[in-house]
Structure 1
Amino acid sequence: MENGRQRLIEAYRSAFRLWQQRRLIEAEKLLDEFWQQSGMKSLRGMLLMAYILRDRQKYVSEVKVLEELLERFADSSEAKLLADAWSMLGSVLRRLGESELSVEAFKKSVELEPDKEQKLVECSNALFSANAIDGVTAEYMQSLYALYRRLLADLAIEPYPAPDWQHEKIRVGYLSADLREHAVAQFVRPLFCQYDRNRFRVYGYSLVRQPDNVTAVLQQGCDTWRDVSDCSWVEMAQQIRADEIDILIDLAGHSAENALPVFAYRPALVQISGIGYFNSTGMQEMQGFLSDRYCSPEEHSPYFTEKLLRLPQSHFCYQPFSAFPPVGQAPCLAKGYVTFGCFNNFAKVNDGMLLVWKEILQRVPDSRLLLKHSLLGIEEGISYTRQRFERLGMPMERIEFRGLSKDYLEQYNDMDIALDTSPYPGGLTTCEALYMGVPVVTLKGNRHGARFGYSFLANLGLQELVAEDAEGYVDIAVKIAGDWELLALLRANLRRMMQASPLMDGDAYMRAMESLYGRLYEESV
């Protein structure tokens, strides 16, 4: 018995070393052969196999290993390892588009996780996944916010007293882990580089662990840059308080590596969230959430705990760091048929959306559907997605899968019409499609984060591409698919239209933002 246990430990250690050295195929083979020969599996060994399979992008195999682990070791006293396994299962299910199951897995991780701070991370993960659930209700979201607040209360954070400092300039701080080559960074450059230096002093609080050229541009643009990537939440709060920040803006919400608990310390006079996330933080310490009149017709929403701070045009300002290739001609002119497409994160593509796309393909004979995502470039991802599509009766012979590639912007030249997702629409991908001359059909949505596509298109004067419901979405897609002259016209003019629109007008955007900041500051002093 002791000899068997020793062999089990040695196999785990050997595989772990190979995994650390990124020798993933060898690590997987070692564990698999040991299991077959010995019949012995350990909790740690199976969890390591899940990590190996994740890193090899064998996501379906990862799910199978995790499900077996959680059944086999359900009664284990190693709560931390079980919580890790549930968290991994939540992540891979989200990647595969199983959002509801993902939320439940993350909630199990919250339940088992012994570390109070990590519980909050897992609850954020659950909230993030919930946004892609088709038909998700305000009550469902509010229940998750309530859970987050209970977990936050368990930290027994002592907030700072209301500040009484006075400055010649309003001090604005931005906190984010995405101040790098990331989707969020394509919308924040004006905040760091185009503000009124006579009225404002800007501080960047960076959680970026691997700074890049984008980080450097943002750092050089603002007055003060703080690298807080190695700081605890309390240390971040202490630094922000020491800097006497008047308005602190969270740019992450419940996305990865967020630092939302910092706001529970109330280090700043005014605290708001926005841009980097699409739904409420659920925190009582947030006085507002950045939005616009298209995303939020009212100041209050049942999906939000914060007041919605509505800018008069767009609450986004798109200023890409990437160089874009030239816009090609509409591909239908050369191919003789229309190609619909979607390059959105595939976790946003729920079954309800696929059935809508299926109807569009049925109503536009000979049309094609082009889908591109990292999941669709790997064997297991393709197999899993194909089975899912076949179950829904999708016409597979008219659908093309493509994996991730560096030339993805050029591949918009293979698409005539982009189909947006709902209730979790595209953000950066919508802007990229439009900038490449590809019109985007979107659903209006019933809340701030579900209405991004509507806001983008309304700011371009293209509200006719926005549908009130699924039936209208299909009708719009079918109608423009039949007007090749319109597709060619949009192809030739969309980039110029974007450049002339509020979506890319940094000066006007900052005037609106700074007017909001000034009002928030005056209301709080």
Structure 2
Amino acid sequence: ISCRPDFAIAHYNLGNVLNQADRLDEAEASYHAAIALAPDLANAHLNLGVVLTSLGRCAEADAALRRAIQLQPDYHLAHSNLLYSHSHHQAIDAATLFAEHRDFGEMIEAPLRDTRQPHDNRQDPDRRLQIGFVSADFRNHAVASFIEPVLRELRGYPNLCLHAYYNHAREDHVTQGLRQHFAHWQQVVDLGDAELAAQIRADGIDILIDLSGHTAHHRLLTFAHKPAPIQASWIGYPGTTGLQSVDYFLADRFFLPVGEFDEQFTETIVRLPASAPFLPFADAPAVGPLPALTCGHLTFGSFNRPTKISPAVVALWCELLRALPGSRMLLAAMRPDGRAEQLAGEFAENGIARERLLLQPRSDMRTYLELHQQVDICLDTFPYTGGTTTLHACWMGVPTLTLAGTTVPGRAAASTLGHVGLPGFIARDASEFVARGREWAADLEQLATLRAGLRERLQQSALGRPELVAAGLERTFRMIWQRWCQGLAPRAFEITANDLPAQARP
């Protein structure tokens, strides 16, 4: 760039490097520089949209991603990123979000329908099944932490043979640990979608599982080829793929209550004992006493990505903070990019002074968990609620007050709270959110008792029982396979602990 300041691709590549280094403000500037020099560079508009989504600026991200699509209408990656961005957008309702996903599915499936070939998998309902998992997250990633305990159990089932199709060039210690759970492992990042589909067919996969949805490095175009007779989506994305070729979506009754979200999916919903188990951090500190009992005031906290904290979220949190004048708010995971002070300004605009805020930078895992010892109740973001953060908070004895949404991304925290028996922390609207916060603030004794027993609640729930989830998954595989062998269409059903062998039950 020093030699050629007008070299658009150099500015674009610098933006990519800065994005990977989590220097998002600088990455944004580099992408803008590239676009100023080359306005038709679709990749620059796409990656600018990705950065703006990460910065929580949904409207600007929307414009950048739509420009990328305008320049390249078949830019599937831009379409997926737009869907992911819209799942964070409060102004987009459930029906619109579903329609956009469905339209994406139609766009990529329509050209392929006449090219699909019948499956010649042997239709024996009781034979050993070949199960394929497709993911770019078999590495140090949240998805890997959810799936590893299940894979550890599934590998012991003699009637299942597990195949991994790993779609990322990076390998780390987590990758090496996951490899041992699969009978077959293939690195597929260099295979085109049709090539990967052909490989899956050649491997005789009976049931193919997508673990990415519309997140980074997904292979939904491979699923659109329908390489396996049964295909399902699980864990990686809170919502439908939009594809008719994906038969099932795996969830649980707390994440997707029966009858409430079926119309938001092209897939048929199957409910497991839990969508996935939680693997706590091995070196997690002990649960501490309730801070409010010693410091004399209630401390709320947020450990969500700061970019999920929209002005609407700040406004609701501040309404609760104003209702409890002595309370404080701890905001963790702050980047060194000015976002912390921007948030402080938004709180001030809503009547909450800077001295009531505790701003904490991003940290290592143990420090992150130790911060929970300063927090009495976590406050959730919306419409994209906290998943992993809610689970870690429960492990540290801290319940999360959540505003459950009408879209699937708004269900993550409510699902965890349902599993551990805390419906009193789930609000249906803003007024109930504030009312529930005030109620809990007025009952510190009960809050302290809850804190002391919350880790055990999590351990005893289905979320703490990977063997139960694995048994439910194995039963699901067999049931959907038997339906296919009988020529029957997919149907919704639920596997509960009572449906499983006694050794798998709590």
TM-score range, shorter chain: 0.7 to 0.9
Which residue number in structure 1 is paired with residue 199 of structure 2?
A: 239
Q: Map of 1:2-21 to 2, 5 A cutoff?
A: 11-12=3-4
Secondary structure in 1 matching 2:274: coil
**TM-fit CA distance, 1:169:** 0.7
For residues 72-87 of structure 1, the aligned pairs below 5 Å read 72-73=36-37, 79=40, 82-87=41-46
Name the structure 2 match of 1:206: 166
Q: Over residues 89-135 of structure 1, what are the superposed CA-to-partner deviations in whole Å (9 max), with x where a residue is unaligned? A: 21222122112331332121122138x4xx11111111111111114
Q: Is 2:137 the counterpart of 1:145?
A: no
Contact 2:402–2:414 (8 Å) recurs in 1? yes
Question: What is the CA deviation profile of residues 28-51 of structure 1, one whole-angstrom value per residue up to 9, with x for unaligned ones?
Answer: xxx6xxxxxxxxx55445545645
| Pairs within 5 Å for 1:464-483 | 464-483=424-443
Matched position secondary structure for 1:221: coil
- Please give the alpha-carbon distance, in whole angstroms, between the structure 2 residues aligned to 1:172 and 1:364: 53
1:171 to 1:214, Cα distance in 2 relative to 1, 3 A: same
1:306 partnered with 2:306: no
Change (3 A) 1:214 1:397: same
Confirm whether residue 130 of structure 1 aligns to residue 122 of structure 2. no
Partner of 2:70: 111
| Aligned 8 A contact 1:184 1:275 in 2 | yes
Q: Aligned partners of 1:130, 1:328: CA distance in 2, in Å?
A: 38
Q: Deviations over 1:400-442 (max 9, x none)?
A: 2222110212211121111112221111111101001111111
Q: Which residue of 1 aligns with 2:478?
A: 518
Q: Return the alpha-carbon distance in structure 2 between the equivalents of residues 349 and 95 of structure 1.
A: 11
Structure 1 pair 257–391 and aligned structure 2 pair: CA distance change class (3 A): farther
Instruction: Decide whether the 8 Å contact of 1:83 with 1:112 is kept in 2.
Output: yes
Partner of 1:161: 118
- Find 2:142's aligned residue among 157, 169, 183: 183
* SS of the residue 2:216 aligns to: coil
CA deviation string 1:167-188 (max 9, x = no partner)? 6312211111112221112211
User: 2:158 and 2:211 mapped to 1: Cα distance?
Assistant: 24
Structure 2: which amino acid aligns with 1:399? L
Alpha-carbon spacing, 1:170–1:399, altered in 2? closer, same or farther (3 Å): same
Aligned length: 478
1:270 to partner: Cα distance: 0.5
Contact 2:8–2:33 (Cα < 8 Å) also in 1: no
Q: 1:413 to 1:206 in 2, by over 3 A?
A: same
- Using the size of structure 1 for normalisation, the TM-score is 0.84
Give the equivalent residue in structure 2 for 1:385: 343
Q: Give the alignment partner of residue 92 of structure 1, picking from 51, 58, 78.
A: 51
Distance 1:505 1:295, change over 3 A: same
Contact kept? 1:135, 1:423, Cα under 8 Å: no
Provide the TM-score with structure 2 as the length reference: 0.87
- Distance (Å, rounded) in 2 between the aligned partners of 1:474 and 1:244: 54
- Bigger drift between 319-328 and 172-181 goes to 319-328
What does 1:196-345 correspond to in 2, within 5 Å? 197-298=157-258, 301-311=262-272, 313-320=273-280, 322-345=282-305
Which segment drifts farther, 410-419 or 344-353?
344-353
Change (3 A) 1:160 1:372: farther
Give the Cα–Cα distance (whole angstroms) in 2 for the partners of residues 351 and 128 of structure 1: 19
SS of corresponding position for 1:225: strand
Q: Report 1:27-46 matches (<5 A).
A: 41=6, 43-44=8-9, 46=11
Cα distance in 1 for residues equivalent to 2:450 and 2:335: 30
Shift of 1:387: 4.2
Corresponding residue number in structure 2 for 1:4:
none
- Partners of 1:194 and 1:510 within 8 A in 2: yes
Counterpart residue identity of residue 236, structure 1: L
Structure 1 position 356 matched with structure 2 position 312: no
* Distance in 1 separating the partners of 2:235 and 2:170: 21
Distance between the aligned counterparts of 1:181 and 1:515, measured in 2? 29
User: 2: distance between equivalents of 1:365 and 1:188?
Assistant: 43
1:372 maps to what in 2? 332
Q: Following the alignment from structure 2 to structure 1, what is the Cα–Cα distance between the partners of residues 347 and 195?
A: 48
CA RMSD of aligned residues (A): 2.5
